[in-house]
Structure formats: C-alpha cells, structure tokens
Amino acid sequence: MELNELSTPVLWADIDVFEKNLATMSAAWPGTSLRPHVKAHKATRIAARQAEIGHTAFTCATPREVVGLAEAGLGSDILLANETVDPSRLKAMAAIDGTATVAVDSEATIDAAVAAGISAVLIDLRVGFRCGCAVEEAGPLADRARVGGLDVRGVMGYEGHAMGNLDKAERVRLAEGAMERLTRAHADVGGDIVSGGGTGTWDINTTVNELQAGSYILMDTAYTAQQQPFEQGLFVQGTVISVAPKYAVCDVGLKALGMDHGNPSMVQGEVRGCSDEHTVFVPHDGASVGDRVTLTPAHIDPTMAQHSTLVMVQGHNVVDTWPIDLRGW
C-alpha cells in the first residue's frame, strides 16, 4: 500500500530518517549513556528498536509509560523523571517486572514512594525549569530517602529553559549554569547517576553521565531550527477538502497536531491557522480538492499523543504500522 491510499489525517514517519537519527545519537551517546525519553514517541515498538542498539534504560514522563514499557519486556531500568504522590500509580510502578526509579524533590514525594514500595529514587534538582528542589535541600532529602530504605541512585535535572534557544552560545550559557547547580547537589547526594539533558543540549551537556533525549528520534520544527544533525522524520498527511480564491483548507486540525510550539509548517503552502479539524493555508502553486498535503508538526510529543498509530513509510510505500500504545496517564 502507498501512503496516498490511506485515509487522512494520518501520522507517518520516514523509516530511513528514523534509522539515521538512531545511529547518529547512538554514535555520540552509546549504550546506557543515553536514557531515551519515551514521552517523545510513546510507542513500545520504537523503544524496542532503541533497546536493540543498546539503549536499554529509559526515561518516562508518566506512570503509564513506565508500566507499559515493563509489560513490553523493556523494564530493566526505567526512570520516571516526574514527581507523583498518587498511591495507586506508585504501587503499579513498584510492582513492575524490572526496576522503576522515580524522581523526588520533597519530603512528601519521598514519603509517598516509601509507602508504595518504590525501591529507588533520583533527587530532582530545580535547575531552571519545572520541578525540583533547591541545591541546599538535596543532601537532607537524600538522607531522608535513605532512612526510609530507598536506594538513592543520584541526581537529575532538566535544563528545559535552554532546550529551545536558537542561539547556541546562549544555549550553552544556560545549560552550563543549570549543570553547575546539579554538580553541587550531586556532591551532597552521592550515587552513580547524574541524569538530564535533552535533544537541545545533546552536544553541549558534558555534565550528565546519562542523557534524557527523546525528540531526536523523529524531530520537530522547534528543534530542526537549531540546525541539529538529526533530520525531520515525522509528518501528518492531509487532504485538501475546500478551495477558495486566495486559500485552501485541508482536513488536519488541532486534534491531529501538537500546537504549543506554534503552527505546523507545510511543504505545499504557507499555513495561516488551524482550528479543530482544519488547517487554512495559502498554496504555493495552486490547490485542488483531493490533493494530498504534508504538514510538519512543531512539537513531536503532543502530536504523537493525539494519534493511536504511527505509519512507517519508505519512499511512498507503507512498510509497517506501529501502535502508539503508551498514550495517556
């Protein structure tokens, strides 16, 4: 079957680009020095391919991702790089066939992990973005966790405020400032792991000993604007359903795209805006009802989360369909 025979909107990936991106990152961060973040793709088939080339430890954003990976036989070393105090979710992660390590940044998250039977934690540092504790809180929290019987494996910190910056020098400055705080905390916490980073800092973060990159696998326009060596490999194909004198409309809308980083881009025209089920665009060379168009999402993670399957394509041919089976919480 060819891609153009499928009903739209359809989420698809270029399998050759997928494999090239895998190889590029693996060459720089081999084996478990890369802890791929599955929140970017939410698909156990992709995680299994990452494991095949040596990336057997994974980062997750949700308990569902942790449990789903374990059920797929990929649970040997999973990190929930997120805080939760939900007893049922913590107990589900504690019961997996494998090892679940969870991020903690407060007495409450530590106590919840102990009560649920979690065995290992990382102390999460606030290095400039989202969750985490202050540097001076890290040592005492690690002590509390050990008193509770937890294995404190080390520290983590996500320099997310640096990730999307297009100016590499500024990206370096922000990342170095964040990692300096992580290094100071690690001296107080101990443990073997210093975890963090992502696709935006994969080549400049020399502090961590495991990189939590995820988007590199298929990329999005927010990252490709940084001139990374990883290629754009994720697209949504749509069909032109209406044509006006100065614009056209296709059947890909907000419910098929991650929009938090802005509009998608389009090969065949200039996107003017998206609504629930439609994208309005100005064609470069005219458009007719029934034409196929290709949209490139600005953010891979929420785009993947809005589809149940990912179609793998080589050239124009469909070679496989992979379930996006780790969606939801």
- Helix/strand/coil for 180: helix
Q: Are residues 136 and 260 in the same domain?
A: no
CA distance 240 to 243: 8
Q: Are residues 258 and 181 in the same domain?
A: no
Tell me the residue range of the domain where 236 lies: 3-12+230-323
Residue 221 belongs to a domain:
no
Cβ atoms < 10 Å from Cβ of 308: 10
Q: Are residues 180 and 248 in the same domain?
A: no
| Tens digits of residue pLDDT in 104-152 | 999 999 999 999 999 999 999 999 878 999 999 999 999 999 999 999 9
Q: Are residues 253 and 184 in the same domain?
A: no
| Tens digits of residue pLDDT in 301-319 | 999 999 999 999 999 999 9
Q: Are 59 and 213 in contact (CB under 8 A)?
A: no
Q: Are residues 185 and 273 in the same domain?
A: no
Residue 304 belongs to a domain:
yes
pLDDT band at residue 213 under the 50/70/90 scheme? very high
| Tens digits of residue pLDDT in 228-242 | 999 999 999 999 999
| Mean of per-residue pLDDT scores for the chain | 96
Return the H-helix or E-strand segment holding 284.
none
Q: How far is CA 38 from CA 105, 123, 195, 198, 216, in A?
A: 22, 20, 15, 12, 11
